[in-house]
Amino acid sequence: MILGFSGNHFLAEEKAREVMQARGLPLRDLPRIGGDDVRLETLAPLLAPSLFGEAALLLDLEGVKVPAGVMDLLARSGATVAVLDATPAASRLKLYEKPGVGEHFPSPAPSKPGEVQGWVTARARQLGLKLDRDAAQYLAEVFGTDLAGMAAELNKLSLLDGPLNREAVQRVVGREPPGDSFAMLGAATSGRPGEALLQLRRLLASGEDPFRLMGAVVWQYSLVARCVALQQESGGPVSEAVAAQRLNVKPYPAKKALEVARRLNEPRIRAQLGRILDADQAMKSGQDAGAVMERLIVQLSV
């Protein structure tokens, strides 16, 4: 029987551990094959039955180009094989879902910030942790889609007593949240230069190239300017779905651009586009890129 575990690698392995344990086959006791060892000559002897019964093993396909014949060998062997296969090819997926041959256990990963925050909140609840909303948001910001990293931090936090707020969690984790260029522009256009500069410095500290960051600002402000034009054209608010369709972008950047555009009018957006152009030319003329970006963020906050 081939048991295919797809989706997020960390979640897939957790599911495999649960399923195999229920079958009396603890994952930790099984041979684990991955990387360059995924080849016929390595697998064949491990799949052969022994005096103790049918064989069982864990096959990890992360980063592996599966050689020809491997899946056919698994299907013919009669062994119980747990396969970690994050994004299975159509032929492997068909095998996992074939009655009497395989069984498929998908583990889709949370991808949006709200989904990741929801996942970490649920995980903390399972561990009996009193993790407040801001602390969960902090972990989601710091780790993004690194679920294994978040799970490891939650295990450490389980050693602490009492409620866990953002400050307590940040002391244990010891990492600053990454900067967010949309949050930076949102704070700037809301007249919060301190918050906008904090986001900028986080972005630069994380290794973001100032010229790439300027390119992002130019692109984002072009979306904002077009959203301002859409609002004027419609004579009122514009929905995220309409903006995404008209701008030919995904819903998230359309949403963020609309949030900024609602605070601006045509004269102000023109003035700010002029400041962005001046800053871009200053960086290209050799002025200190970080200092130019900081000055621009302050100017956009006025």
Angle, CA 87 vertex, CA 81 and CA 89 arms, to 5°: 80
Q: Where are the beta strands (DSSP E) in 119-253?
A: none
Q: What is the mean pLDDT of residues 25-50?
A: 92
What pLDDT band is residue 162 in, cutting at 50, 70 and 90? confident
Q: Which two tokens stand for residue 232?
A: 């004027």
Give the model's confidence band at 92: pLDDT under 50 very low, under 70 low, under 90 confident, else very high: very high
> Structure tokens of 173?
């984790």
Phi (first) and psi of residue 123, to 5 degrees? -65, -45
Helices 210-234 + 240-247 axis angle, to 10 = 120
Of the candidates 50, 131, 64, the residue with the CA atom closest to the CA atom of residue 92: 64
On average, the pLDDT of the chain sits at 89
**Secondary structure of residue 116 in the 3-state scheme:** helix
Backbone angles phi, psi at 119, to 5 degrees: -65, -45
What is the sign of the dihedral through the CA atoms of 232, 234, 235 and 239? Answer: negative
Question: How many other CB atoms are found less than 10 A from the CB of residue 30?
Answer: 19
Vertex 190: Cα angle to 114 and 301 (nearest 5): 125
What's the Cα-to-Cα distance from 232 to each of 36, 239, 262, 270, rounded to whole Å?
A: 59, 13, 11, 14
CA of residue 173 relative to chain centroid, distance: 18
CATH class of 181-300: mainly alpha
Residue 126 has pLDDT above 70, yes or no: yes
pLDDT of residue 111: 77
Q: Are strands 2-7 and 102-107 parallel, antiparallel or unpaired?
A: parallel
Percent of the chain having pLDDT more than 70?
Answer: 98
pLDDT at residue 213, as a whole number = 85
Phi-psi region of 288 (alpha: psi -120 to 50; beta: other; left: phi over 0): beta
pLDDT of residue 185: 79
Using an 8 Å Cβ cutoff, are 260 and 224 in contact? Answer: yes
Per-residue pLDDT reduced to its tens digit, 129-149: 989 999 998 898 888 888 999
The residue written with tokens 């972008």 in the block is 249
CA 270 to chain centre: 34
User: What are the pLDDT digits (tens) for 2-13?
Assistant: 999 999 999 999
**In this structure, what are the phi and psi dihedrals at residue 129, rounded to the nearest 5 degrees?**
-90, 140
Percent of the chain with pLDDT over 90: 48
CA distance 178 to 280: 23
What's the CATH architecture for 113-173? Orthogonal Bundle (1.10)
At residue 197, what are phi and psi to the nearest 5 degrees? -65, -35
Question: Residue ranges of the domains in the chain?
Answer: 2-107, 113-173, 181-300
Q: What is the pLDDT of residue 2?
A: 95
